[in-house]
Structures are given as C-alpha cells and as structure tokens.
Amino acid sequence: MNKFMKLRTYLITGSTLLIFLSSANAQNKTSIGDANRGEKQSAMCAGCHGSYGYKTTFPEVYRVPQIAGQNASALANALEAYKTGQRKHPSMRGIAESLTKQDINDLSAYYERIGQ
C-alpha cells in the first residue's frame, strides 16, 4: 500500500465515523418528534401551561400541571389519552382532539426539550 492509499483509507474511516456520530447526536435532539415544529404549535398551550410550560396559577379553580421537562413519551401518552377520552378533562380533551399524531409527537418533543 502506498502513502496515498493509506491516507485515503484514513479519510474514509474518519468521515464514516463522523457521519455516524452526528446522526446519533441528531437523534438525541429530535426525541420522538420535531421540537422546532412543536415550538410553533405551543402557542395554543401557553395560555394555560405558561410560555415555558411551567406550572401556572391560572386559572385558580383548577391546577394546571407542569409539562416542561416531562419525558416526551409520557407527554405523548397523556395527550393520546385526552384525545381518546381515557382521560376526561374537558378543556384538554377539546385541545387534544384537534391534534394529529404528528402534532402530539412534536409538541411532546418540544416540552421535553425546554425542561432541560
């Protein structure tokens, strides 16, 4: 093997490793959905859950739970449960019914990310 071929082998191995590492990293960031898309949709949740998904005092008649930082799959399961009526909160059911599976995953990814 001459010098040139050795160099080429190193380069190929190196770039394969880089691609592998960066795709692993990207997967971590996106969680179960697209957090950037979820952020745009979160405007309709902020009125009750707060701009950053933290617990709010509004409305004082009932407690609004903190959703920021909860595990994305747990959030998605909760939203699915409101959507199907397994969880019976009228305002959350109304909201969840309007969300697609993709919306649920993206919003869940977003709220998981902002809690970190």
Under the binding rule (CB under 6 A), the answer on residue 32 touching ligand HEC is no
- Please return the burial class of 108, using the count of CB atoms within 10 Å of its CB with bins 0-12, 13-18 and 19+: buried
Specify the long-range contacts of residues 89-94, CB closer than 8 Å, at least 24 apart: 91/48
| Cβ count near 98 (within 10 Å) | 9
- Please return the burial class of 96, using the count of CB atoms within 10 Å of its CB with bins 0-12, 13-18 and 19+: buried
What is the smallest separation between the CB atom of 75 and ligand HEC, expressed in angstroms? 4
Residue 35 or 67: which CB sits closer to ligand HEC? 67
Write each residue from 37 to 76 as x if it is in contact with ligand HEC (CB under 6 A), else as -, in one continuous string.
-------xx-xxx------------x-xx-x-------x-
Under the binding rule (CB under 6 A), the answer on residue 79 touching ligand HEC is yes
Under the binding rule (CB under 6 A), the answer on residue 78 touching ligand HEC is yes
Asked if the peptide bond before residue 65 counts as cis, ω within 30 degrees of 0, the response is: no
Footprint on this chain of ligand HEC (rule: CB under 6 A): 44-45, 47-49, 62, 64-65, 67, 75, 78-79, 87, 89, 91-92, 95, 107
